[in-house]
Amino acid sequence: MGVLRYGLRVSWAAVSALPRRWLKGPGHPAWTWRAEVVGAVARAAAHGVVGVPLKRIRAGMLGANRPGAMRRRVQHSVTQLAGRPAEVHVPRGWTDDRPTVLYLHGGGYVLGSPATHRDLISRVAWSTGCRTVALDYRLAPEAPYPAALEDSLAAVAELSADRDRTQLWLAGDSAGGGLSLATLIALRDRGEPQVGGALLLSPWVDLTDAGLDPSVDNDHDYLCSDLLKMCSGHYTDSDRHDPLVSPATADLTGLPPLMIQAGGAEIFLPQVRQLAERAQDAGVEVVLEVREGMVHVFQAFCMFLPEARQAVRSLGTFLRQRWAQD
């Protein structure tokens, strides 16, 4: 799809969302008019790139601007971490005795960067009160599995080299959430100390055939099985039941506290619920929050959705309470 045609498709989705709502009612019973517009635009944008070469998609992805309030509250800088580019978000008032969060962005292991998630990551930093370091891990297909996992493990080692490992937390959305969980499993299996916990936003934890089943597609979420198949095919051609590829298949015993958030209308909801149940059965402290009507990684739409801002505040509360307990 050409750039002009793609732009027109997304623009039309935005313009037509409210008249359609007025004529036919909300697209989802829980959607406000803001959620209606966000859902329509995100769906048009995501479905419009199916079949488009990755190089073209990446070229069209822009960095996420931070609103003035976030720029005043959270200092942003660029750095290097474990040999990879990274961005650092330091909230006002942070001191070195507080935890650090390693953030792993989403994008199906093939798209995205710390820049595309800059607004969300700044908000996580402010909510948690923690310095938050976003890693620009290697992407597939140029660097397929296990490259991203190796980068994440190297970042954990560097960030915790001179401090207690429990002072480090992981966070990530979508593929970054799955990668965060895989990192926890790898640390445990290597016999290394665990981090303090993890915040998982709509984590993609099942890349098996069950996790890519078209039957999970719906008319509300912007994700679809075609996109997932494209991304997973680039990420790995090995055994997708490998727990480090599909953490939903792993033994979760011995993992640190987890907070998992998902949208009630997203196609990952079944695998996220299953993950939370299996973690609880394994004796892991886990809190699952499902926001009614919300789509995949709805937290990325904080500038438009109060539900997203509430969810990010909840992430901060979870981490702060456990840090205070330590």
The answer to whether the CB of 91 falls within 8 A of the CB of 101 is no
The answer to whether the CB of 29 falls within 8 A of the CB of 294 is no
Residues in the chain: 326
Q: What's the CA gap between 164 and 67, in Å, rounded?
A: 34
> CA-CA-CA-CA torsion for 300, 215, 265, 69, nearest 10 degrees?
0
Catalytic residue among 28, 152, 160, 266: 266
What residues pair up with 79 in beta bridges, in sequence order? 86
Is 307 catalytic? The answer is no
- What is 33-55 written as a DSSP string? HHHHHHHHHHHHHHHTTTTS-HH
The answer to whether the CB of 164 falls within 8 A of the CB of 194 is no
In one-letter notation, the amino acid at residue 311 is A
Burial per residue of 139-159, b for 16 or more beta-carbon CB atoms within 10 angstroms, e otherwise: bbeeebbbbbbebbbbbbebb
Catalytic residue among 152, 174, 202, 232: 174
Could you say which DSSP state residue 186 is in? H
List, in sequence order, the alpha helices (H) in the chain. Answer: 3-24, 33-47, 54-60, 68-73, 118-128, 147-159, 175-189, 225-235, 269-281, 306-325
The answer to whether the CB of 119 falls within 8 A of the CB of 302 is yes
Q: What's the CA gap between 132 and 128, in Å, rounded?
A: 9
Is 277 catalytic? The answer is no
Three-state SS at 64: coil
Is 266 catalytic? The answer is yes
The DSSP element (H or E) to which 201 belongs, if any, is: strand 197-201
The tokens describing 81, both together, are 């971490």
Catalytic residue among 87, 113, 296, 314: 296
In one-letter notation, the amino acid at residue 314 is S
Catalytically annotated residues: 174, 266, 296
